[in-house]
Amino acid sequence: MLLERIRSEGIAHISYLVGSDGIGAVIDPRRDCDEYLQIAREEDIEIELIFETHKHEDFVTGSLELSNGTGGEIYHGSALDFKFGRALEDGQSFELGGLSLRSINTPGHTDESISLVLAEAGGENLMVFTGDALFVGDVGRTDFMGPAEAGRLAGELYDSIHGRILPLGDGVILCPAHGAGSVCGSSINVREESTLGLERKLNPKLKMDRDEFIRFKSTEVLPKPPYFSVMERYNIEGPPSLGQLPVPSAVAPPELKKLVEEGAIIVDTRFPPSFSGAHIPGSLSIWFGGLPTVSGWVIPHNKPIVLVLANRTFAELATRFLVRLGYDDIRGYLCSGPEACGLEAWYVEGEPFGRLGVLSVHEFKNLLDSGSDLTLLDVRSEEGWREGHIPGSMNIYSGHLEDRMGGIPRDKPVVVVCNVGNRATHAASLLKREGFEDVSVILGGMIAWNAAGYPQDL
């Protein structure tokens, strides 16, 4: 028996390839599905079954792509009218090379959510693939259908977990669709391996009674990036076929300027000090590690994309990150020769560049103490802000900044802060694009602020 966890960084998505006696099933595949094919080839496994535990909101499903490449049949829950694949009955079971894989309805995160139980043939349960119903240390969101439905869904999720999943047995291995860092849960544990027994004992959400659980989930506020609606449409109707992963090519400054005129978005993936030092005016800062998630908040799906990379070797991974969110029109990365990659290609031609102020926490503390008139903008989540922030700061989550920019005074300096500096730099690039002139960021952010022992408001 083979169990492979295939992880997608950033969105902290986990998909699974289970194989037994040469037959394989993939659960919740991502769109760049070369890795499944390679494992299957090496292990001589025929992927016959492809399951969607639910309609994913945070990435484009790869099930059609994988089905094209393998001939595997796609299955999903019956409570939603998917335009592809087949609907599963509650309890429907599949043979998998001497084992069995049984679908059980576990609504709550969404109505059509299912879990898949791997069991010995006709016998004991071994593992359960819970999608977004149950995570390690957390449970799925119930807010996607709006506040009116959150209570109903929370009740159903409670029943699914306590009535259908936990009874599978303490010893059953838990295989959820997300790990720590995903926005699909607020506090998923950094430990990836777990069991139903461990969850029963350690998962704080499972210690609530039904009413408490419904109350908690009904009021839980979690970010919902605008791109989620695009993903939902793709994942119900079936996304466009990708075929081979696109290989981005070098784009020289003249071509880049032409693309910008045609509406292209320049995404600068370098670290904050680099963006701060020099960047193409109008470009968006999205630090490399933020590419798989932050992009979905700010990049429209109908615009071409050009990347600015610290090194061209990162082009492939950047492409994977974007393609997983449905951004297929990646025109390339700034480069004007093997020796002039990254921003050098730009400034060596005498093109003008922007800068961004950076402050250490000590410098900013001095500014504060000297009574400077400025706006301190904290772009972390509301939850993070509530747990502690610099006195006098205004909180707008970076993802909402474009909509709420009107509330920020344009006639005085704006200093942006987040945890480390990446998100602040991203937010600062949004402000600068909209014409804010005096913008700077605190490098080191709240972590450095706290390390320095400076005061926080709660």
User: Which of positions 43-82 make contact with a second copy (CB under 8 A)?
Assistant: 43-44
- Cβ-based nearer residue to a second copy, 59 or 275: 275
For 163, residues 6+ apart whose C-beta sits below 8 A from its C-beta are none
Q: In a 3-state reduction of DSSP, which class is residue 40?
A: helix
Which range of residues in 152-160, 210-218, 233-241, 441-449 is near a second copy by CB under 8 A?
Answer: 441-449
Helices 315-323, 291-298: axis angle to 10 degrees equals: 50
Q: Which residues contact residue 92 at a Cβ distance below 8 angstroms, ignoring those fewer than 6 apart?
A: 102, 103
The distance of closest approach from Cβ of residue 138 to a second copy in the complex, given in angstroms and rounded to an integer, is: 15
Pick one of 12, 50, 127, 416: the residue that binds a second copy (CB under 8 A).
127
- 384 touching a second copy, by CB under 8 A: no
Chain centre to alpha carbon of residue 130:
18
Task: Give the C-alpha separation, 418 to 449, whole Å.
Answer: 10
Task: Return all residues near 152 (Cβ < 8 A) that are at least 6 apart.
Answer: none
Report the residue from 190, 262, 406, 411 that binds a second copy according to the rule CB under 8 A. 190
444 is an interface residue for a second copy by CB under 8 A: yes
Question: Does residue 187 belong to the site contacting a second copy (CB under 8 A)?
Answer: no
Per CB under 8 A, contacts with a second copy among 266-325 are 270-279, 289, 310-311, 313
**Site for a second copy (CB under 8 A): how many residues?**
80
Does residue 447 bind a second copy (CB under 8 A)? Answer: yes
Q: Of 6, 117, 183, 196, which one interacts with a second copy (CB under 8 A)? A: 196
Q: Which of residues 20-49 bind a second copy (CB under 8 A)?
A: 22, 41-44
Smallest gap from Cβ 446 to a second copy, in A, equals 10
For residue 414, the cross-strand partners are: 375, 439
Structure tokens, 397: 């989550």
- Total residue count of the chain as it appears in this document: 458
| Cα 61-310-290 angle, rounded to 5 deg | 40
Q: Which residues contact 316 (CB under 8 A, 6 or more apart)?
A: 245, 247
- Which of 187, 229, 249, 372 lies at the binding interface for a second copy (CB under 8 A)? 249
Rounded CA separation 19/340 (Å): 46
Which 164-183 positions form the footprint of a second copy (CB under 8 A)? Answer: 169-173
CB nearer a second copy, residue 182 or residue 336: 336
Q: Is 12 in the site for a second copy (CB under 8 A)?
A: no
Q: Which is nearer to a second copy, 77 or 421 (CB)?
A: 421
Q: Please report how close the Cβ of residue 23 comes to a second copy at its closest, in angstroms.
A: 11
